[in-house]
Structure 1
C-alpha cells in the first residue's frame, strides 16, 4: 500500500513538474516576440527609392512605403517593383499640405487618401487601406478627421521612432543611425521606425539593418491580416 501511494505521488509530481516547466518556458519566450521592427518610408517613390529597394533585396529585408499620389503616377515601375519584391505599398495623401489637409472640411484627409488609393489601384493593381497622416496624426487628426477616415475603412499608422532623416540626411547622415539606436531603448515591440526616401537614409540603411539584426530584432513588413494599432491617439478603429 505504501509502495502504491509512493508511485501515485511520484506520477503526480512528474505531471506537475512537466506543466510547470512548460509554463515557465512559454513565459520566458514571450519577450522574443516583441523584438519585431517595421521599417517604413515616407514621401516616395522618388529617385532614391530604387537604391533603397536594392538594399532591402540584398539584405533580404522588406519595408512599408507610404507614398504620395503624384509620386505614384510619376514612378509606376518603382511602385510595381516594390510590391513584386514583397514590400507593402501604403498611402500618404495627395498634397502633403497642412492647409489643404487639416484646414477646412474634416473630410479632406479621407478624400486625399481615397484618391491615392485609387491611383495606386490603377497603376499597380493593389488595393491598400493603410494610411499615414502627413506630419503625424497629432495634433492634426482630431476626432472629426479620424471619423471621416474610419468611415471609409482606412487604417492609420504613426511611428515609435522618428529618425529625423529629413533633417540629417544631407548634413549628418550618421545621426539617422544614432537616432535608431537611442530610440530602441526602453521600447517594447512591435516597433515602427519612420524614415524617408532620401540619399542619407539609403546610405545608412545597410548599417541600420545589420544593427537591428545583431540586437535580435526581426524585420517585418505590414500585413493587413495581422494589423495592430499604432497611432498617437490610440484610436482602436485604426
Structure 2
C-alpha cells in the first residue's frame, strides 16, 4: 500500500477541498430546501419560487461581472472585438466597465430579464410573497447570494482573474441554470411525476405531502450539486454566444 507523508497531505487536502467546495455548497443549499419542506412546510410553489429567485440572482450577478471583463469574445469578429476596448470607470474602487461589453450584454439581459420576470411574477403572487414573505425565505435567498458571491470570488476576483476573462466567460455562468433545468426536467421531474401519477391512480396518496416532495428534491439536489461543481470555462460543458 502506498504511503503518503505529511507534506503530501498538506499539499493535497486544500486542493481537494477547493475542487469539491462547489459540490458541497450545492449539497448544503439543497439541504436547506429539504429543511424548508420538512420543518417550514414549504409547498411546491415556494420551492419553485426559490429556484426562480436563484436564477434571477445568478443572472444579475454574472451579467454584472461580465461588464468588467476586458478580453474579447473568441467567437465574435468585428472592430469592437479586434481593437483595444474603450472603457469608463464611474466608481474608482471598481474596475473599468467596457462599452463593447455593455452592447454585448444589453440584448441578452433584456430578454433574460423579461423572461424571468414573466415567470417569476405569477409564482411570487401565488406564493404570497407580495403580502407577508416568511423569514425562512429570506434566509434561503441570503444563502443563495452568499454561495454565488463565493463563486464570483473564486472564478473572477481572486488574483484579479477577471482580467483574463471575456464577457462570454461570465455569461456562461449566468446561462448555466438553463442547462441545469433541462437535466432536472428530463431526469427528475418527468420520471418521478410519471411514477407518482401511476401510484395516484391506484392509491389515495397526497401528492402535496412533504415526503412526496422529497422524492423530487433529493435527486434534484444530486444533479444541482454535481452541475454546480462543473466549471463552464472548461470542457465540462459549453455555451455558445456566436
TM beyond 0.5 = no
Bigger proportion of residues as helix: 2
Bigger proportion of residues as strand: 1
Higher relative contact order (CA 8 A, sep 6+): 2
Higher CA-based Rg:
1
Superposition TM-score, scaled by structure 2 size? 0.29
